[in-house]
Amino acid sequence: MNNNRDKLRALTLAALFTALTTVATLLIQIPTPTKGYVNLGDSIVNIAAWVLGPVYGAAAAGIGSAIADIVSGYVVYAPVTLVVKAAMAVASALVIRAAGKRSGSLLPRIAAAASAEVIMVVGYALFEAVLYHSASAALLGVPANAVQGALGAAVSVAVYELVIKRVPRFDKK
């Protein structure tokens, strides 16, 4: 960030993506056997990471997702959601950053989304193993989280490729 205008722009976009993450998470909620729910929030988690980078993307993803858990009555999940969704955004942003010049192509975006979703599936499985004192109970949530992950990855890549990538950039000099 070079100046205050860039910082204000990043903060404003982070606030927007926080709200979008919350709304996308609340929009459709399909309950899972482990008392969680499948939702569309992961699609915004990835897009926030790609647009904002690892720091602001992680803040928007973690905070927006945790707010959705609190509003939905899944308060026990909110702290782990904050951490897991933030970690997803960091991973997704770093994979795109590592792709460098190829970051505009489809394959790095798919790899970034997939890496984020693996973090989500593993993160919630570990949390649920501790919460329920049972690895087998935690494994019940893996298929639903995998479905959410696949859906989130597919939607985020499609929305980025079809919409976000085509939005004119005004910050280029």
Q: Is the pTM of this model over 0.85?
A: yes
Confidence of residue 164 (pLDDT cuts 50, 70, 90): confident
Per-residue pLDDT, 172: 45
Per-residue pLDDT, 16: 97
DSSP state string for 91-139: HHHHHHHHHGGGGGSHHHHHHHHHHHHHHHHHHHHHHHHHHTT-HHHHH
Q: Domains of the chain: which residue ranges?
A: 4-166
Per-residue pLDDT, 48: 97
* Model confidence at 140: pLDDT above 80: yes
Beta carbons within 10 angstroms of residue 55's beta carbon: 15
Q: Assign residue 133 a region: left if phi > 0, alpha if psi is -120 to 50, beta otherwise? A: left
67: helix, coil or strand? helix
Give me the phi and psi of 31, to 5 degrees please.
Answer: -60, 145
Which of 31-35, 55-59, 119-123 shows the lowest per-residue confidence on average (mean pLDDT)?
Answer: 31-35
Average pLDDT, the chain: 91
Give tens-digit pLDDT for 35-46. Answer: 778 899 999 999
Using the 8-state DSSP alphabet, how is residue 168 labeled?
P
Give tens-digit pLDDT for 10-25. Answer: 999 999 999 999 999 9
| Tokens at 97, concatenated | 């950053």
Confidence of residue 101 (pLDDT cuts 50, 70, 90): confident
Confidence of residue 30 (pLDDT cuts 50, 70, 90): confident
Region 149-165: mean pLDDT is 93
Per-residue pLDDT, 10: 93
Per-residue pLDDT, 73: 92
Fold for 4-166, please state it.
Arp2/3 complex 21 kDa subunit ARPC3 (1.10.1760)
The answer to whether 25 and 65 are in contact (CB under 8 A) is: yes
